[in-house]
Chains A and B, each alone.
Chain A
Amino acid sequence: MTFWPFRGILGKAVLLLAGGFAEAVLGPLPLALGGPTECSVPDELMQIDEKLPHLAERLHANEPVKIVVIGGASTTGLAAGSSDLAYPHRLQEILARWYPSVPIAVANRGVPRQTAQQMLERFPTDVIPEDPVLVIWETGTTDAVRGVGVDEFASTLQTGIDDLKARGIDIMLVDMQFSHSTVTVIDFERYLNALHRVGDVNDVNVFPRFGMMRYWSEQNVFNFDGVAKDERADLAAKVYDCIAKKLAETIRIALW
């Protein structure tokens, strides 16, 4: 399990130092050798340590798979204009293509502006009755925005993870979205650290959405901060699509 923020910044510092040095010696480097395809991220953001045994078992036995995504506004996908463009739905489409012999359904249980605690309270109604084999829990944004106690946030996550584990459900956590503008006014760091550490101590994968979006922003793959009004929905759809692709790849790696 990666404890993202520290690794990211230190690795980046080393890269930048090395890059700066190379640039000084060799002149400007050709931008991203080979040209990055949209959605690509550095390997360190795709390092997956934990397995999803229950999901693997189901797929192996060709039994129907139910995945529930519980999260906030970015899970609902409303910014893209339709829940069909949200990452949970796109994830379902990708997984269906990869595992055509297995019926796979991904349920979207996103509700905007909820803290981890409020999401946890929805488990008995929105998550458990669906009988999922994997729960993807996208959380932390509202907690950081509202300044919920970090300890409290961590212990809420712990309660949720314990509950799902006791029911034999696989878990993945998804961290916050990134943009330059939001990180100047919201302190995500403490919450990112807590989220990643909870994953770490519980052997649960944390999908580093924040790190990925920051990478895309820095590589100018996407510009989250200065986008024209009529292009905003399109941008959201593209980003959700990339998130879904990366999530699907993560799941595939975590299966075997």
Chain B
Amino acid sequence: MPAAQSRDLRLDFFRGIALIFIFVDHIPENIFSYFTIQAVQFYDAAEVFIFISGYTAALVYGRTLALQGPSYATARIISRAWQLYVAHIFLFVIFVAEVSYTVRTFNNPMYNDEMRVGDFLEEPHLAIVKALLLEFQPTFLDILPLYIILLVIFPIVLLGLQLQPMLVLVPSFLLYVLVQILGISVPAYPEGHVWYFNPLAWQFLFIAGAALGLGRLRETRWARFERAVLPAAAIVLGVGFLVKLSWTIHGVWDPFPGLFLRELWPVSKNNLSLTRLIPFFAMLAIVAAIVSPDVAFLRSPLTKPLVLCGQQSLEIFCLGILLSALGHFVISEYSASFVTQFFVNLFGIMGMCLTAKMIDWYKTIGRAVLNTNQAEFISGDRDGR
């Protein structure tokens, strides 16, 4: 993705953090997941990732739409969705390899029913077709299908937002509310199962991000609004922090009371419950108010690796999913000691940061080569612009 002159590094930075958190949270029973956002807030890195993805999608493709028109913008969005689809299938194949290998080499009748693993080995012909149709979503392979669907509908969303933001936001919100009230979900495979990230609910977060990213809402009355909203947001965030922290402590140490646990739990992630969404928006308002786009730390060498991760989000996301599966394997096969966990997390995060740096280097050189060669292209290849 070509870097614009005034790229908002906050997006890259926070998306980078979200990607690291997704990696850490996806290793089951990882001690370090106590230090990610989900330990102290009702929402987690998934919300951050989807929101920022919507926001940047609007920024990038909004510019394409303005410069090259709707056909080309649509083609670009669909080609991105295709990239994600291929990445998803790639991850799926790796998952299948791991599962098949483990199941074939392990045969203890005590676990026979457990090792069927979602009927996959009973009807692989069906499972593969369902995976291609995004209906079969093994654990942790559930966020990319959501992202793909959101991108596929995005050309229409973008055109609508460009025309009149409320034209898109209102129906999107109504659909979200409908899901909350009626509990509508999207069926998946095997029969009786649903999309882990219900796209009918999560679309609202992505579209809200896109609406803000397009900037047509932002400037108008926000400044006046801000004064009124910020104190409320701070209260929501603070209360959310205390309540969720009490749950986390209660989970570790039983005598400590989980505040409002009986009243609030379970908090639906599948349907993006309001208990998650409201504190997320509160956090958003506060971060947007406190962290300005040109704050110095975003350009410091210390945060650079995170910013790079956020910029190469697709590759780093996929890598993170692979590394967390690998990390889980190491921890469960080798040792679950603190030291092992520490190094699994450390190497994983370093792997993600170094890969991001490498991809950035590769793309930068690629662009430079493209620029020097452009003279040769210009005469033959241009079609009238």
Contact = CB atoms under 8 A, between A and B. Distances in A.
A79 B107 CA distance: 11
B98 A184 contact: yes
Contacts of B251: 3, 5-7, 193
Interface centre among A2, A113, A145 (most CB of B within 10 A): A145
A141 B109 contact: no
A185 B102 contact: yes
A239 B248 CA distance: 32
Contacts of B337: 13, 16-17, 20
B48 interface: no
A183 B240 CA distance: 32
Contact of B106 (A150, A201, A225, A239): A225
Nearest to B325: A184
A13 B340 CA distance: 10
A73 B254 contact: no
Contact of B252 (A7, A20, A47, A79): A7
Contacts of A84: none
Nearest to A19: B337
Given A73-B113, A177-B110, A189-B29, A13 B338 contact: yes
Contacts of B363: none
A88 B119 CA distance: 28
Contact of B117 (A149, A177, A185): A185
A113 B109 CA distance: 13
Contacts of A5: 29, 251
Contacts of A16: 336-339
A252 interface: no
A179 interface: yes
Interface centre among A12, A147, A182, A201 (most CB of B within 10 A): A147
A7 B261 CA distance: 17
B332 A147 contact: no
B111 interface: yes
A80 to B, nearest CB: 8
Interface in B124-148: 137-140
A110 B254 CA distance: 31
A72 B113 contact: yes
Interface of A: 1-3, 5-10, 12-13, 16-17, 20, 47, 49, 72-74, 78-79, 112-113, 141-142, 145-152, 154-155, 176-177, 179-189, 193-194, 197, 200-201, 224-225, 227, 232-233, 235-236, 239
Which 3 pairs from chain A and chain B are nearest by CB? A181-B106, A79-B109, A187-B139
Interface of B: 28-29, 31, 98-99, 102-103, 105-106, 108-119, 137-140, 185, 190, 192-194, 196, 248, 250-254, 258, 261-262, 265-266, 268-271, 328-329, 332-333, 336-339, 341
